A = this chain, B = another copy of it.
């Protein structure tokens, strides 16, 4: 179904636009056949979400997404009783819906959530494939096709917030990074709707920022930011103006850093 080459192109008819970079597709599909949960690692904006969308399309399964945050509790994933017109009605959370429907459940940055949210996935992440729902006094068996995927960004996790080892050692890990230069140009041009020359210039800027020595930036210019800048060019801004807003000032608030990056923009991008 998928070749072993580094840039295997997934079927493109109506499929999400995704270009494989390593063996991430093979690993994902093997883990899915094994029903092993997947831990997706990689920097912000490198395409983790798009990769999962492509895999869901490839497997023909629904994709249900939830984004973790530090106030998220297990009820946000599992569901809760709500009051409606005097009646209490149970409403499934995204995890429960995925369990019932055999969908892929993608928990984005779940490590930031409270620990009860990670413990609730334990019995789903081993051979049991069960979701106990205390408040319904029941236990759901995951439908065939249910696949758990969690992501996190190792680059800025705090020491305090990390996956418990007993959670982590249940997952097959896949590490993504920014794509190679030709692939990234193709992606930026396609997503932003600009020509290859402009996309190439923006990707050149992005790579120059990623290669800065001793960079004070917490995160580098992601593929997503390059697409955002490309979109402003498509709306009529000059590449320099687009890069100043969608890349430089999005990346940093520090006046010195902003000035240095603005100079880099002027050096790399064509005069309007």
Contacts and interface: CB of A to CB of B under 8 A. Distances in A.
Interface in A228-254: 228, 231-232, 234-237, 241-242, 245-246, 248-250, 253
Contacts of A178: none
Contact of A71 (B41, B116, B156): B116
A147 interface: no
A250 B173 contact: yes
Contact of A245 (B109, B156, B170, B173): B173
15 contacts: A30-B232, A30-B235, A30-B242, A31-B235, A34-B232, A34-B234, A41-B253, A65-B123, A70-B114, A86-B87, A157-B253, A165-B218, A169-B225, A169-B228, A170-B228
Interface in A129-170: 134-135, 137, 153-154, 156-157, 165-166, 168-170
B219 A165 contact: yes
A69 B166 CA distance: 11
A36 B169 contact: no
B169 A115 contact: no
A216 to B, nearest CB: 14
A26 B69 contact: no
A241 B27 contact: yes
Given A69-B119, A173-B250, A231-B36, A245 B84 contact: no
Interface string A59-77: 0000001011111110010
A222 B134 CA distance: 31
Interface string A20-51: 00010011001101101001010011000000
A174 interface: yes
> How many A residues are at the interface, by size bracket?
35 or more
Given A45-B169, A172-B250, 6 more contacts: A68-B119, A70-B115, A72-B119, A91-B137, A154-B253, A172-B228
A200 interface: no
A250 to B, nearest CB: 4
A250 B69 CA distance: 22
A186 interface: no
Contact of A237 (B27, B69, B236): B27
